[in-house]
Structure formats: C-alpha cells, structure tokens
Amino acid sequence: MKIQSVEAVPLTVSFRTAFRFGTTDRTTSPNVVVIIRSDDGVAGYGEACPVPAFTGETQKSVVELVEQRVAPTLIGKDPGNRVRLLGDLERVVRSAPFTVAAVDTALLDLLGRALQVPVHTLLGGACRDRTEVHGSVGWDEDPAKMVETAVAQSQTYRWLKLYAGRGEIDADLDRLRAVRDAVGPDIELFVDINGMWTPSDLVRALPRVGEIGLAMLEQPLPPAAAAFQHQLVGDLRIDIAADEAVRTVSDAARVARERTATVINVGHAKLGGPTAALQAAQIAAGSGVGVMVGSVIEMGIATAMGLQLAAALPRLGYPSYLMGPLKYRQQITEPQIEVLDGHIAVPRGPGLGVTVDENELRRLDARARS
C-alpha cells in the first residue's frame, strides 16, 4: 500500500453560541480536514483546529503546509511506516503542531481502515469501552448566564469545566461561587485559568477555591511561572493540571521531573498528534503524574481521535474534553456523539470509527465560498 494523495480542505464552520475563555472569543472555527488516500482506494482523515491561544498556525498555513511540505514528503510512501514518516515530516514541518496532529491522525485512520482495526488497537488496545466526559461553561461577564449554562449541562454531565482569569479575580471567584450554589454539591467542578493568574492571584484565590469546592485548577499560572506553581502545589489539597505548559513531549517530561503539576493535559492537537500525546501520557504515567485528554473543541474527526486516545490510556485522572461536536452548528461525521450517563462510547469500527461526509466537506469548503 502506498500513499497516493494528501489533501487539505479548509472549512467554514461556526459555534452554536459564542464560547469565551482565556483571552479567546470563539464564534467561528478555522478547522481544516486532511485527507490521505492510498493507491488501493482507502482514505484516512485528520482534522486541524488551529486556535491562536496555542499556535501561530492559521487555516491558510495549515493548508499550505499540507500541500507544499506534507504531500511531497508522504506521497509514494507506505503509511504502515507511520513513525518513520512522522520523523521525515519533522524535518520539513516545524512548529506546526496542529498541522502535524491532523496528518498523524489521518495516517492512523488510513492504516486502521486498511487493516480493519480501530485506531485504539494501533495505539496498544482499549483499556475502556467508554470514557467519562465533562461539560464546559464559557466565561461570561454575567454570572446568571454562566449559571444558566451550568445548570443545563449538569443534566448531562457529572463534571463541569469552568473558566476564570479573564475578569477581576474576586468577581471571577463570585461567578464560580454562583455556579456552585446553583448546581449543588454533587456536581464536580474544575476551573481552567489558561495561565492568566499571577502567583499572587493564586495565593489570594486559594482560600475561596477551597471554599467553593473546586476539584482542580488547570494551568493557573503561565508556563514561565512554573516554579511558583511548584512551591504552591505542595500546600494545595487540590490537583493542578498543566496544559499550556505542555506543548511537547519534553515539556511533559519537565513537568513530571519538576513536579509543577499533578496532572498533565495530553490533548493530541496541541502536542502535535496522537503519537506525541501517547508518549507524553506514558512519561506522565511512568512518573506518577496523572493525565487527562483535553481538546480545543474540535469537530467529529479530531474528537474521534481523542476518544481513541482516551480508550488506549490505562488511567485517566479526570474526565475527557471530547464533546466538541455538540458545540458546532455543522457536522462532518456520523454518527453524532452521544453523551449517556456522562460518558461517550469509544467508536469500535475500523480507523477512527466514524464516517466522514465528503459531500458535506465540499459544501463547507471555505475556498468554494470565497
């Protein structure tokens, strides 16, 4: 089997409602679908979702890198030698984790479909047949809006992710308090600060964090302040997750070595693909650090990849962030994910286990619309 073509399709897609967190406001999303076809007629799909908070890549740069660097490197090669191909790509595609993640995903999907096995089998096999997921409540100036979203989501999810850091610190903690009061004590809450607090903010927030009953803080301090996190983490009785601080496998090793967090978010997109995410997860697990599978709220292809990765990890410290497709107006895969009892089933079919609607990809093609 040889790779015959590598294609990138930029999509025009949008969210059902605006989603705010960190310094980011998202109403549309610059996703790109990568399609790798083999000479025996099998197609594999990957999805890039380049968000500015994590990468300098854009929708246009993803398409150009795939067309100008990835395609010439991969065409004619055997997709079965995936890790070797990723090494070849490393030499020509640098500092573009979201592009490489989409290609890695498409290679895994292609191989899985060709061999008629699910991607999780290629990653070492399934440790679970469903994974718990959390809902997410975007930041809003108006606490009543956050309360309304949180209450609605608490019908579906046992865990909710909230955001803080954008507002004045006490006002942000008031918003979290309002959500806690509305959802009651049985819903588990954690907060992603996207690195926007200073060490002083964290010290000041800690008593109220405990009082509100938050299970975990994700990236409370910027990566450069990791040493403070290291000092403060010892005094905490809650988990600290590293997200923005872990962009590479060696970042994961550093967090594990310096013990600046108790959990590492191993989202496959920001880490440059499921292969790197699996390595980061193995380093974390081997160092006694927990892992969780994050995302940047992707559509059905990258989300299916997240589910396959979550299936292959022996231990997950927290629920996964894999309900992205539910936030989009448009859908490119079937079946739509379904959250049952707070969990999503791991797709069992070959490859990623989802069917990609290529007609819909053509219809959503941003180039056809401009």
* Contacts with Mg ion, residue ranges (CB under 5 A): 192, 218, 243
CB of 324 to Mg ion, least distance (A): 13
When the beta carbons of 69 and 327 are compared against Mg ion, the nearer one is: 327
Question: In whole angstroms, what is the distance from residue 292 CA to residue 51 CA?
Answer: 20
CB of 283 to Mg ion, least distance (A): 19
CB of 292 to Mg ion, least distance (A): 10
When the beta carbons of 62 and 261 are compared against Mg ion, the nearer one is: 261
Structure tokens, 313: 């990890």
When the beta carbons of 96 and 264 are compared against Mg ion, the nearer one is: 264
**134 within 8 A of 216, measured Cβ to Cβ:** no
When the beta carbons of 140 and 243 are compared against Mg ion, the nearer one is: 243
Residue spans of alpha helices (H) in 116-191 = 119-122, 143-153, 169-183
Q: Which residues on neighbouring strands pair with residue 264, listed in sequence order?
A: 242, 291
CB of 321 to Mg ion, least distance (A): 8
Q: Which residues on neighbouring strands pair with residue 15, listed in sequence order?
A: 328
CB of 219 to Mg ion, least distance (A): 6
Structure tokens, 308: 């396959």
When the beta carbons of 22 and 351 are compared against Mg ion, the nearer one is: 22
When the beta carbons of 21 and 228 are compared against Mg ion, the nearer one is: 21
Give me the sign of the Cα torsion angle 77, 115, 335, 299: negative
When the beta carbons of 47 and 218 are compared against Mg ion, the nearer one is: 218
**DSSP letter assigned to residue 327:** G
The residue whose Cβ lies closest to Mg ion is 243
CB of 199 to Mg ion, least distance (A): 19
Question: In whole angstroms, what is the distance from residue 235 CA to residue 231 CA?
Answer: 8
CB of 247 to Mg ion, least distance (A): 12
Q: To 5 degrees, how large is the angle CA 267–CA 183–CA 346?
A: 35
Where are the strands (E) in the chain, listed by range?
3-10, 13-21, 24-29, 32-38, 43-48, 130-132, 135-137, 159-163, 188-192, 214-218, 239-242, 263-265, 290-292, 333-334, 343-345, 355-356
Q: To 5 degrees, how large is the angle CA 33–CA 352–CA 272?
A: 55
Query: Within a 13 Å sphere around the CA of 268, how many CA atoms are in the beta-carbon half?
Result: 31
When the beta carbons of 118 and 267 are compared against Mg ion, the nearer one is: 267
Question: In whole angstroms, what is the distance from residue 10 CA to residue 29 CA?
Answer: 10
Q: Which residues on neighbouring strands pair with residue 27, listed in sequence order?
A: none
When the beta carbons of 212 and 245 are compared against Mg ion, the nearer one is: 245
Give me the sign of the Cα torsion angle 110, 264, 53, 346: positive
CB of 6 to Mg ion, least distance (A): 30
Question: In whole angstroms, what is the distance from residue 295 CA to residue 306 CA?
Answer: 8
Where are the strands (E) in 39-120, listed by range?
43-48
CB of 297 to Mg ion, least distance (A): 11
